[in-house]
Amino acid sequence: MRDDARRFETYEHDHAARLGLGVAADYALGLGLDRIAARIGELAASLRQGIAALPGACVHDLGPDPAGLVTFTLAGQDSAAVRAALGRAGISAGLSLHAAAPLDAAARALPPLVRLSPHVYNSADEIGRTLDVLARVNRGEFRP
């Protein structure tokens, strides 16, 4: 046996995942990383603007140049229930829990946040549909 960390190698590799990573890298480089960043930034800004316009909604992203992740809460709505309602509508969403950023969550007394992550392939229509569903959830018309 080797006497270094390589003794823990299994000599088995996920070849499909390695090939997929290479294809994804080629795709991203083909589109252009700056172009991808700009597109995701536009979609995220559209989401933030639309969510902020909802009564009682609070967008929790900070900084002059926020990332593509959009985090928010709807007043009087449990974030897990909002996420579930989005899921029922076929919209993928996540939750940002205290454990993901304990120092920031504690400093700002953040509850669990709904997280949307637009991607370069999302359309403006999909953003609009997401905002429509959120408006219905916010009005109590769409519940899990």
49-68 per-position pLDDT tens digit: 999 999 999 999 998 899 99
Residues 31, 40 contacting (CB under 8 angstroms): no
Mean pLDDT check: name the lowest of 1-10, 36-45, 54-63, 100-109.
Answer: 1-10
Number of helices and strands in the chain (H, E): 5, 4
pLDDT of 7 above 90: no
pLDDT of 30 above 70: yes
pLDDT of 45 above 80: yes
Query: What average pLDDT does the structure give for the chain?
Result: 93
Indicate the angle between helix axes 79-88 and 124-138, nearest 10 degrees.
Answer: 130
User: What is the rounded CA–CA span in Å between residue 120 and residue 53?
Assistant: 24
pLDDT of 9 above 70: yes
Share of the chain above pLDDT 70, in %: 97
Residues 94, 69 contacting (CB under 8 angstroms): no
Residue type, 1: M
Residue type, 28: A
User: What is the rounded CA–CA span in Å between residue 48 and residue 54?
Assistant: 10
Strand duo 94-96 + 70-74: pairing: unpaired
Tell me, what's the pLDDT at 60?
A: 96
User: What is the rounded CA–CA span in Å between residue 144 and residue 44?
Assistant: 25
pLDDT of 111 above 80: yes
